[in-house]
Structure 1
Amino acid sequence: MILRDARVVDGTGDVRDDAALRFDPESGRVEAVGDADPRENEPTYDLGGRTIVPGIVDAHVHFSLSGEASVADVVSMSDAELMLTEAVNARETLEAGVTGVRAMGARDLDVVLAERIDRGDMPGPRMVANCRSITITGGHGHHLGREVDGPTECRRAVREQVKRGAEFIKFMATGGVTTPGTDPNVPAFTQEEMDALVDEAHRRGVHVAAHAHGAAGAQAAIRAGVDTIEHGTFLDEATIDLFVAEDVVLVPTLSAPYRIVRNADHATDESLQKTNDVYERHIESFSAAVEAGVEIVGGTDAGTPFNYHGANATEISFMAEYGMDPHDALVAMTGRAAEVVGLDDAGTLEADSFADFLVLDDDPFEDLSTLREPETVVKGGDVVAGTPFDRLEA
């Protein structure tokens, strides 16, 4: 199948005007980008200058959460209820144009969801899935996570997660905004514990994401060898220099505090107080990181309070607003995001990549908000939401 007369943004940094995209709906793979002469009886559709971009890849989502004001609303759910919640959120995410995610884990359900989506049993984005986030006793996310104390328990927890199918390890290097009694600016684990977590994960062949708001916690996690830092709210110059020196990726999740601040009347008192303390510093930290050359990958923290699934593309607008070039922001949440989280053959439009893409009516580099309402969403060569190709023809 060929879609021609389109502007193709390939997710690696290149843009082709007046181009064609050829893909095979049976294999679900891209065959060529650029010029393509129709074969005999090959379906061909003229897009009339519309823009094609790769499906969005969100490096930080929580399918177990649905934007509730408090995680307490979720903790009492049975596994069956939580699984249904995850399935609904995955479908909504896909239909909004997100064709790949790194799912941050809750109990051990994300790996089950990922397997079912991959088998075609239910709709959803391609997933890199975790089981349970690892935290200290009483630490951030303990409600749905795996509590540990000491380096030996840290290693045991990593081994448990990998045994259950986790494709990466996440741990809470600091306290968090949404867990009562924890301080986002204070390190949680000791350096020895972080060292054990990262060493064991890498020995098991999986990458490591560290939730870290405060600079001290982020520095300790980077020294331990983590692959990505999530949030990075209170970054100082020394921490940013360490990011660059150690080639660690920042996943800023700018959407999360924005949503709480904009819903102040409904947020819990503690979440709101913490968010008010961090919101402006978060933006400052992000802007400083961009200026210093820290590598950024887009993630929303979708599912946290008022941060609803399906609004993921707004993160690209935030990254551009606070310092990134718009095209770089799009690449950060397509091709580069897929590469960093381990979604092979996703996030780009080049020969042999998955045919996961969005058809947009307007130029995203003139107005990034057009990414929030794609005209057509395609995963694996199939239209999963929006207007069919034959109705797009100019």
Structure 2
Amino acid sequence: MLAIRGARLFDGERRVAVPEPTVLVRDGRIVAVVPGPAVPADARLVDLGAVTLLPGLVDAHVHLAFDGGPDPVGAIDGAPDSRVLDGMRAAARVSLTAGVTTVRDLGDRRYLALRLRDELADRPAAGPRILAAGPPITTAGGHCWYLGGVADGAAGLRDAVRERAGRGVDVVKVMASGGELTPGTRSYEPQYSVAELRVVVDEAHRYGLPVAVHAHACTAVENALAAGADVVEHCSFLAADGVAERPDVIAALAAAGTTVSATIATRFDRGGVPPGIAARLTGLMRQVGRLRDAGVPLVCSSDAGIGPAKPHGVLPYAMDVAVGRCGWSTVDTLRALTALPAALCGLADRAGRLAPGYDADLLAVAGDPLTDPAALHAVRAVYRSGVRVG
């Protein structure tokens, strides 16, 4: 048995008020959370000192195939799969060392994220747990068409979902609007109709798969909601001239209980925010607040890999953005980085909590992120499945 001790503990939902909290781990699973100083006689104690123990962070929106550089698409254009996969391995490792023990890859090339998922399943120190969507479904010439997921018409969309189900994806990703990484598309314009998105949702649900819908455009958000999407990614409400104010759509999202994955984790100090997003940044931050105030279920995610402001391992910076720019409390933000995205990813009984029966995915940071958001960057130790990351 392994006993991991700190000074404070946040269990994914609340601060646990016990002195010298100690997490007992056996065979990669949490057995108990107990107060110190006593530990079982057969336990090996690792006392991490004045740290806060938290569940490993869960990033529900990353792109491991993109390198986070100034031209992430060009970097893989024409590159052999072996080279792209090497870059994905490095990205996964960076994410893990930042304290992100689970990622959901929402767009790769030729299902490489599935290959990496299976490769890392038994190598917990090499990278996070991966859930993968494969190439995102998109229109001809649509956002991320170059990743190979083009599908048009009802029959084509059904076939696209069936192919992904046959490959063993964990989630189906569909692009309901244009995006900043694809010339010729506009983030504020929709790509698929409600009827087309409903084909994707219905077919995916037949296979027991959730559907994540990329939706920057206000109309795309409406379409995703009407089609029954499980989660709306970004949910930016973009219009040609800014950010649309649509309290009716926000109310409908709340009434439906549709989760929004707010990709707010950003390194603003590194630059590289797309001009179209930078010009709307104030409105986008305000919109996140409106969603929260209306009771829309929210998780914090990153879109890691798509540019310099979105490097791999950027998820902890969601704490700075949510608290500093959106006015969230620290405890609600930590929930949106741990237990809530774990539940969104179908891992409510395995990840995002420090509780008996859960995987021993732990993050230890110096200081107290419940009083100082910057503490989340001061990583002192990371464990995945009870294995300490080197």
TM over 0.5: yes
Quote how far apart the aligned CAs of 1:48 are.
Answer: 4.0
Change beyond 3 A, Cα 1:151–1:371? same
Q: Is the 8 A contact 1:118 1:126 kept in 2?
A: yes
1:151 is the counterpart of 2:159: no
Q: Is the 8 A contact 2:302 2:315 kept in 1?
A: yes
The aligned residue for residue 67 of structure 1 is 68
Deviations 1:49-103 (A, max 9, x none): 4211111111101100011223222222111111111111001111111101111
Quote how far apart the aligned CAs of 1:40 are.
Answer: 2.3
Q: Is the 8 A contact 2:322 2:333 kept in 1?
A: yes
Deviations 1:95-139 (A, max 9, x none): 111101111131211111001100228711011111110001111
The aligned residue for residue 323 of structure 1 is 327
The aligned residue for residue 352 of structure 1 is 357
> Equivalences for 1:73-88 in 2 at 5 Å?
73-88=75-90
Quote how far apart the aligned CAs of 1:3 are.
Answer: 3.1
Q: Secondary structure of the residue that 2:118 maps to in structure 1?
A: helix
Distance between the aligned counterparts of 1:355 and 1:105, measured in 2? 27
One of 119, 136, 157 as aligned partner of 1:116: 119
Q: Is the 8 A contact 1:255 1:314 kept in 2?
A: yes
Distance between the aligned counterparts of 2:234 and 2:124, measured in 1? 33
Q: Secondary structure of the residue that 1:123 maps to in structure 2?
A: coil
1:207 is the counterpart of 2:215: no
Q: Secondary structure of the residue that 1:250 maps to in structure 2?
A: strand
Q: Secondary structure of the residue that 1:377 maps to in structure 2?
A: strand
One of 252, 256, 262 as aligned partner of 1:246: 256
1:185 is the counterpart of 2:193: no
Distance between the aligned counterparts of 1:20 and 1:311, measured in 2? 28
Quote how far apart the aligned CAs of 1:282 are.
Answer: 1.4
> Equivalences for 1:88-237 in 2 at 5 Å?
88-107=90-109, 108-120=111-123, 123-234=126-237, 236-237=246-247
Q: Is the 8 A contact 1:290 1:323 kept in 2?
A: no
Instruction: Give the aligned length.
Output: 376
Amino acid at match of 1:374: V
The aligned residue for residue 11 of structure 2 is 10
Q: Secondary structure of the residue that 1:346 maps to in structure 2?
A: coil
Q: Secondary structure of the residue that 1:232 maps to in structure 2?
A: strand
Deviations 1:335-378 (A, max 9, x none): 11111112340111000111111112201112112212211111
Q: Is the 8 A contact 1:55 1:357 kept in 2?
A: yes
Q: Secondary structure of the residue that 1:375 maps to in structure 2?
A: strand
Normalised by the length of structure 2, the TM-score is 0.91
One of 321, 326, 335 as aligned partner of 2:339: 335
The aligned residue for residue 240 of structure 2 is none
Deviations 1:304-360 (A, max 9, x none): 111111222001221222132111111111111111112340111000111111112
Quote how far apart the aligned CAs of 1:196 are.
Answer: 0.1
Q: Is the 8 A contact 2:6 2:22 kept in 1?
A: no
Q: Secondary structure of the residue that 1:363 maps to in structure 2?
A: coil
Change beyond 3 A, Cα 1:246–1:210? same
The aligned residue for residue 241 of structure 2 is none
Q: Secondary structure of the residue that 1:32 maps to in structure 2?
A: strand
Q: Is the 8 A contact 2:60 2:104 kept in 1?
A: yes
Percent identity over the alignment? 33
Q: Secondary structure of the residue that 1:12 maps to in structure 2?
A: coil
The aligned residue for residue 45 of structure 2 is 44
Amino acid at match of 1:56: L
Amino acid at match of 1:226: A
Q: Secondary structure of the residue that 1:136 maps to in structure 2?
A: coil
> Equivalences for 1:230-309 in 2 at 5 Å?
230-234=233-237, 236-255=246-265, 259=268, 263=271, 271-272=274-275, 274-306=276-308, 307-309=310-312
Quote how far apart the aligned CAs of 1:216 are.
Answer: 1.1
Q: Is the 8 A contact 1:6 1:17 kept in 2?
A: no
Distance between the aligned counterparts of 2:40 and 2:234, measured in 1? 48
Q: Is the 8 A contact 2:161 2:204 kept in 1?
A: yes
Distance between the aligned counterparts of 1:252 and 1:5, measured in 2? 31
Q: Is the 8 A contact 1:136 1:147 kept in 2?
A: yes
Q: Secondary structure of the residue that 1:369 maps to in structure 2?
A: helix
Q: Secondary structure of the residue that 1:348 maps to in structure 2?
A: coil
Amino acid at match of 1:28: G
Change beyond 3 A, Cα 1:356–1:121? closer
Deviations 1:135-191 (A, max 9, x none): 011111111141111111111100111111111000001111111111111111011
Task: Give the RMSD, CA atoms, in angstroms.
Answer: 1.9
The aligned residue for residue 30 of structure 1 is 30
